[in-house]
Chain A
C-alpha cells in the first residue's frame, strides 16, 4: 500500500512569487492535514481537509491556502512568498478507522531567496 506522496520534494522560489504543493494521501484516507516545520518554530499546524472541506485551520496568514479534490488529493498554495516561508512543508493523512493516527509524507522543502 503506497504511503503519502508529496511533490515536489524540493523547490526554490524568490520573494513575491507563489507556490503550489501537492499531497496524495494513502488510498482510502479522506483527511489531509498540512504542517510547516522550521528550525525556529518547530512543527506548526496549517490546516486540515476532509471530504473537500476545510475542517480546521491553524494560525497562519491568508497567504496560505489549500484545497482538497474529490479523490482526496490536496494542494496548498502560498502567495506573495516571504523569506520566512522557507521551510519543510509536511502533509499527513488519516483514515476513518485509524484512531487518529497520522501518516506523514516526506515533505516538500521550500527555499525562498
Chain B
C-alpha cells in the first residue's frame, strides 16, 4: 500500500525567507503527484501537479520537483509571505485513480 510522508510536520519562518517542504512516498508506480494548500476549516486548493514523466513544475513563487526513483518530491516557496501560512499537503495518484495523501506540513510565516 502506498504510504506518503511529509517532513516537517510544522514549520515557522520569518517573512521573506525561502523554504522547502518535503514529501516522500513508498511506491514509485505513480500517475502523478499534486501539492495542495489547505486553510483552516477549508477545502483543498491545488497548487501544482507533476506528471510521472516530469521532473518539476513552477507557478509563480512555487516550484515543485519530483524524483520518482527515490520516491521524493519537494515544494520550494520563494520569498515567503504571511499569506502563505496554511497546511501544505502532497498527494500521489496511482493508476487506480485515487489519491494517497501525506499528513501535511503546517506552515506559519511570521511578519
Contacts and interface: CB of A to CB of B under 8 A. Distances in A.
Contacts of B49: 99-101
Interface residues of B, number: 24
Contact of A45 (B42, B44, B100): B100
A42 B103 contact: yes
Nearest to B44: A104
A103 B44 CA distance: 8
A8 B56 CA distance: 37
B31 interface: yes
Contacts of A105: 43
B97 interface: yes
Interface of A: 4, 6, 31, 33, 35, 42-45, 48, 55-56, 58, 88, 90, 92, 99-107, 109
